[in-house]
């Protein structure tokens, strides 16, 4: 089954959103046409509010008239509905469970580290424990996971971009932003050789290359977020 036109699929997202990027990559893997609708989160559209009335968040994939919410759920939906195209999740049930575990780990641990580092702004002491957790725990675990899951191939998913690759790779631009803002490299080649090589392969893959946001533009977006969070923190004190 394949989408006949962009009218069949609509993606409510944002260029800056790693979670919307996940969905774009999954759609690219399946070779699907879709209408990309950029949402302004400061003035959310009626379509978004109707499509995701519980969380009111992006991304939302609308298939026909049916909305599907939450990026990982959307990716799995895409993989199940368009099953004749390259698979995103592993075929083996155990391997699928392992992939879901690492996606959950990424959304829990990696996202928290990146957000807390970004929220720390110029406060080095506030950021220090989160950098330590990122570099000494999260990336160490993911390096080990890659070596086990990839079986010596370029991606977590083997020869092709898969579920873990999409879920981790969507955060690579924000990792670059954190490196730019803090003047230090996080994904160090000597310390994380497998992940560094994987990241280069991921960013250059044909299903990914046009989905990742420009780093300079994302840096400006991140700085604006920092100012917003700092103002909210000051107002709460």
Domains and CATH numbers, the chain: 9-81 (3.40.30.10), 93-216 (1.20.1050.10)
CA distances from 195 to 1, 39, 157, 165, 188 (A): 34, 32, 13, 11, 9
What are the tens digits of pLDDT across the range 73-88? Answer: 999 999 999 998 799 9
The reported pLDDT for the residue numbered 3 is 41
CB 186 within 8 A of CB 173: no
What are the tens digits of pLDDT across the range 173-191? Answer: 999 999 999 999 999 999 9
Residue numbers of the chain with a pLDDT score lower than 70: 1-7
Token couple for 213: 């946001």
Sign of CA dihedral 162, 164, 170, 173: negative
Sign of CA dihedral 121, 216, 154, 93: positive
The reported pLDDT for the residue numbered 1 is 35
């Amino acid at each position: 089954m394949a989408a006949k036109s962009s009218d069949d699929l609509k993606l409510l997202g944002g260029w800056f959103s790693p979670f919307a990027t996940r969905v774009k990559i999954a759609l690219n893997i399946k070779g699907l046409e879709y209408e990309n609708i950029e949402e302004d989160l400061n003035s959310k559209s009626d379509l978004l509010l109707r499509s995701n009335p519980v969380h009111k968040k992006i991304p939302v994939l609308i298939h026909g008239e049916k909305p599907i919410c939450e990026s990982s759920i959307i990716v799995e939906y895409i993989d199940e509905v368009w099953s004749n195209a390259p698979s995103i999740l592993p075929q083996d049930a155990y391997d699928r469970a392992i992939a879901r575990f690492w996606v959950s780990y990424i959304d829990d641990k990696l996202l928290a580290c990146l957000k807390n580092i970004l929220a720390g702004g110029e406060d080095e002491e506030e950021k220090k424990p989160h950098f330590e957790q990122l570099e000494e725990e999260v990336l160490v675990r993911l390096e080990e996971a890659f070596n086990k899951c990839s079986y010596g191939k370029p991606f977590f998913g083997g020869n092709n971009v898969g579920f873990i690759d999409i879920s981790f790779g969507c955060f690579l631009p924000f990792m670059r932003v954190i490196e730019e803002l803090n003047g230090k490299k996080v994904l160090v080649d000597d310390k994380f050789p497998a992940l560094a090589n994987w990241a280069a392969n991921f960013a250059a893959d044909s299903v990914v290359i046009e989905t990742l946001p420009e780093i300079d533009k994302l840096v400006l977006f991140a700085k604006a977020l920092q100012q917003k969070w700092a103002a909210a923190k000051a107002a709460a004190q």
